[in-house]
């Protein structure tokens, strides 16, 4: 038996897509790539006694594996008019409370001594600033989200504009 619905179908058009207010990809910094290259280079030392070709092959394979893992694990922060997505978590904008940006020592305290164990974290060690996003959903035990961002003031402005 067909269900009755008062919903109107939304056409598949670009205008039907939610407009993005803010988007940031938390890419690794150059020094992270240098460390990855150094670790991959250690593969040469491990396999060089077997043969130089095995060492260079191991280094290339190690670098490729680590690069793929870094790229695939790079989270995105996306703010639309209706939702906030940080990494794998998404919440409706109506449940976003106050938003604060922190840098340097204050950011370290937010990630450390002031951290609530129930908070959702999307932290990257190579990005210093963090933004704390209070969650007002009464059915959600998570008090706030804490995320790294290179553009904290822009993220705060995007979330504060309702």
Indicate the Cα dihedral angle 14, 24, 27, 31, nearest 10°.
150
Element holding 78 (H helix, E strand)? strand 76-80
Beta strand segments in 93-154, E: 96-102, 120-122, 130-135, 144-148
- Which residues pair with residue 92 across a beta bridge? 83
Q: Please give the Cα distance from 12 to 136 (Å, whole number).
A: 32
pLDDT of res. 75: 97
Q: Please give the Cα distance from 21 to 78 (Å, whole number).
A: 8
Q: Please give the Cα distance from 92 to 78 (Å, whole number).
A: 12
pLDDT of res. 4: 38
pLDDT tens for the chain, 162 residues long, are 444 333 334 444 455 567 999 999 999 999 999 999 999 999 888 888 899 999 999 999 999 999 999 999 999 999 999 999 999 999 999 999 999 999 999 999 999 999 999 999 999 999 999 999 999 999 999 999 999 999 999 999 999 986
Half-sphere exposure of 39 (CA within 13 A, CB side): 13
> Burial of 50 by CB count in 10 Å (0-12 exposed, 13-18 middle, 19+ buried)?
exposed
pLDDT of res. 48: 87
């Amino acid at each position: 038996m067909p269900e009755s619905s008062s919903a109107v179908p939304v056409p598949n058009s670009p205008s039907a897509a939610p407009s993005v207010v803010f988007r940031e990809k938390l890419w690794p910094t150059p020094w992270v790539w240098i460390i990855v290259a150094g670790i991959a280079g250690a593969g040469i030392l491990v396999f060089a006694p077997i043969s130089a070709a095995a060492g260079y092959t191991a280094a290339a394979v190690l670098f490729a594996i680590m690069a793929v893992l870094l790229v695939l694990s790079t989270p995105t922060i996306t703010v639309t008019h209706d939702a906030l997505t940080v990494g794998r978590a998404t919440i409706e904008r109506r449940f976003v409370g106050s938003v604060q940006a922190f840098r340097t020592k204050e950011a370290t305290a937010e990630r450390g001594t002031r951290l609530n164990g129930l908070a959702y974290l999307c932290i990257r060690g190579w990005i210093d600033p963090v933004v704390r996003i209070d969650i007002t959903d009464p059915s959600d035990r998570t008090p706030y989200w804490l995320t790294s961002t290179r553009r904290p003031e822009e993220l705060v402005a995007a979330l504060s504009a309702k």
